[in-house]
Structure 1
């Protein structure tokens, strides 16, 4: 007998799921860039780790954010271009490079290397400009170096450095966490700085470029900050037009829980913390709608994911990759689908070796973590139309005022039919689920399904020897005489159902 019921309202479209919702984030932090993506101490070939590049290319990343993070607000991009031997070695106040905690940046991997990486793996770059210790000229010069096709010194310098054609970078972040490491600014102070930078960076797309730039402002998880920032921008001489296209926030969870040492009650609380993402999106969208009603401004979550106590400055913010973390990522991706009318991009932290990374490396190997498998399973949603999905599920209390819904789901429709993703967030028990598509009659030949983690415990960690054990398996799914689908999900699993 089923205990959870899912109804897919195939005609109730929310909005298109922007592929950028499956975006990623690579910061100069620990072993993310050096050893993870780039062999900085090697002189052979290009310097890229081909094993990492291959895994990232297979995942079809839509967008990649760089160089930070807090690193960005003490980074000066001109240090990282030109001949390697001429690049200065600089301090960075915020992040140590590698487990030896050296607060120095070699600049071996800079703008041209990052943009070559994006070309190799077929992804859009998203650059974060330095507001905390930089100035508008530095940011505008970076746009010119990357994007201008004219005859200026900066455009010629790009050509001399090996890239004749402009890169066409579209996404530009104006600062990072400027309420904290990016300058400890009040929302009003940041709004004034943002306007100053946007005046110069934003003018380039009318004067120098033949494409529009997407300007991204830094928001905060404390949502009163966002309202005050938007009101200050709104009170400027810009008038009805807002000089921004997106507003960001960061949401990490799990800061007090080591997965291997936790019990099932703590698993529940961790997953409930991940689901707080929906409340943050609603509050940010509410602030935008209340203040900036004359312009569409998208919500970007450009840092999110599990951050556990094991991830410290001493080890370059590395932590084990577990099934439980991957389960949380699936639950959050469902939230993004359900909010596709406001969420325009997200960037999980981080791409390689750091925090809830998708790829892990050691000296000789690179392998996919369980979260990589979730992104791969959810990939068919990208570019589809999200549709309303009603979930009737049992729930369990996690503290005095919160419950954890044990079953989650989201759905989308596209040229290949309907795609439904399911999560059993119950780490203790299996659940039988029925799924109905409103107004649709089904037969078994039109339905296929896959499942992740059916044979793994939530605390199971991935390594080079067991990474292949986390790939998806076929899931048995039945169709009854009324066209309803029924599936059994073991504890702590993620599934996807394709309906042609």
Structure 2
């Protein structure tokens, strides 16, 4: 009897390991009117650690090609993935930043202490003009976060006038004296940041009243109709969304949402960026996939007050947040970037794509040398992280027609918990090319994704894959190309069905026409 029970147990275990190793997807029979906004693929750079200084901006002692101190290898890398917008100057830093301190001759700029991030001295050598020059070099739109926490209505109003007025005023005269004749016409404008916390510790009711006051004096000028973005909730603070939608409604272009994936679920010991086991891997992906529920529930509240969906949900801070790398300044938030982080990024972007009816903008935190960065630098050295390569794969979705997939996925099981092993999104670009992005988060199983193309009469053109043997694998300055996109051809076609073999820990993009 014991021998029989042991055999039965082995059969059950083996059956569990190999059961449901297929996912099914179905392309829609009719086209969608929805478009995946390119601004979902936005980035975020705060005056924090080595994001600006040592990241984008370097001195003469760093021997790399540069233009006005901005390193061109970083610019070229970001241009390749077509970043659509860049959020600045924060973050928490935005609500202690006074823009007039950082314009004019460098020798005359006022220094300050960056109290949020390490109590280092901010010399304000990178200010409004330098940021907008950077955006011009990147061919992206600026997204400026205004100071509500420690600033004034007049300060914000003057900044917008300085940026956008093509006329005669003291602000435009100051702008011209500082070397800029024509306005920049900046449209994306954040009215504060995290006003429930580092941006002023406000209640939702108090902030909603403050937003309306600031928004009145955030003027539209010819050629620059503002897209005002209100501070939204953190995570599952649904009361904040309810209050803002009730009191502000469509007087804002967008409502922000912040959600970070913490491997240990704690703001204390968050866990290592490189030394973690499957439990922390699973927890991180679970926290990342929670984004779908957050967007669904916040959107439902927004739908109640805005059924025509005029107000965008702007997820302008998201990503993995771990402990800093050992030996680095804890206030600089410098962390490595693993295959796990790439899988989370790809899964999150699939979620945003699948909620493109409400999510119109998002910003990964952050672009260079901070948190889940796309780029890491060390003096002359530069590397592209696994997360960078996800954005390179997914750039094909920008401003493409959304295709809603019907997906059935097997489970990725860890202990008594489980997650969908496969997530995906799809779009059709202006040339009629269909792209399907597929993610397999299971660290052990290869999964066959069977895609029913219906009557679309599509043929496989090519594919790319991002994968690695272990979820802790990283790119280093010594081995910068360990994880990168390579050609993918493991696709079989039978009639109107496509079978895509997804290795464990993989992100795959296939192209059909």
TM-score scaled by structure 2?
Answer: 0.89
Q: Judging changes above 3 Å, is the alpha-carbon distance between structure 1 residues 8 and 313 closer, same or farther for their aligned structure 2 residues?
A: farther
Tell me which residue corresponds to 1:25: 44
Residue 283 of structure 2 is aligned to residue 269 of structure 1 = yes
Describe the SS at the equivalent of 1:469: coil
Runs of 4 or more above 4 Å deviation: 40-45, 397-400
**Of 168, 172, 176, the match for 1:159:** 176
User: How far apart, CA to CA, are the structure 1 residues paired with 2:305 and 2:115?
Assistant: 35
Quickly say closer, same or farther: Cα 1:289–1:70, change in 2 above 3 A.
same
Kept in 1, the 8 Å contact 2:447–2:503? The answer is yes
Which residue in the other structure is 2:393 paired with? Answer: 377
CA distance in 2, matches of 1:442, 1:55: 32
CA–CA separation in structure 2 for the residues paired with 1:165 and 1:308:
43
Q: Distance in 2 between matches of 1:363 and 1:2?
A: 46
**Aligned-pair CA distance for 1:293:** 4.2
- 1:469 to 2:489 alignment: no
Instruction: Give 1:55's match in structure 2, choosing from 74, 77, 84.
Output: 77
Q: 1:414 to 1:59 in 2, by over 3 A?
A: closer
For 2:505 and 2:151, the matched residues in 1 are separated by 45
Task: Kindly state the Cα deviation for residue 157 of structure 1 after the two structures are TM-superposed.
Answer: 1.6
Alignment correspondent of 2:342: 326
CA deviation string 1:413-445 (max 9, x = no partner): 1233110000011012211221121322344xx
- Is contact 1:191-1:230 (8 Å) kept? no
Report what 2:267 is aligned to: none
Q: Give the structure 2 partner of residue 352 of structure 1.
A: 368
CA distance in structure 2 between the aligned counterparts of 1:274 and 1:295, rounded to whole angstroms: 25
Alignment match of 1:126 (pick from 143, 163, 167)? 143
Q: Does 1:219 align with 2:232?
A: yes
Gaps of 5+ in 1: 97-101, 235-241
Deviation string for 1:167-189 (max 9, x for gaps)? Answer: 11010000000000011000000
The match for 1:279 is: 293
2:274 is aligned to 260
Whether contact under 8 Å (1:264, 1:428) holds in the other structure is no
Secondary structure of 2:405 counterpart: strand
1:420-435 → structure 2 map (5 Å cutoff): 420-435=436-451
Cα distance change on mapping 1:365 and 1:173 into 2, 3 Å: same
What pairs with 1:7-406 in structure 2 (closer than 5 Å)? 7-9=26-28, 11-13=30-32, 15-39=34-58, 46-96=68-118, 102-201=119-218, 204-205=219-220, 208-220=221-233, 221=235, 222-233=237-248, 242-256=250-264, 257-293=271-307, 296-310=310-324, 314=330, 316-397=332-413, 403-406=418-421
**Aligned-residue offset at 1:483:** 2.5
TM-aligned CA deviation for residue 254 of structure 1: 2.3
Report the equivalent of 1:447.
461
Of the structure 1 ranges 257-266 and 185-194, higher mean CA displacement relative to structure 2 is found in 257-266
> Structure 1: how far apart are the matches of 2:147 and 2:29?
44
Q: Distance in 1 between matches of 2:70 and 2:147?
A: 25
Secondary structure of the structure 2 residue equivalent to 1:20: helix
Q: Are 2:347 and 2:439, in contact at CA under 8 Å, matched by a contact in 1?
A: yes
Matched residues, number: 480
Give the Cα separation in 1 of the matches to 2:498 and 2:308. Answer: 44
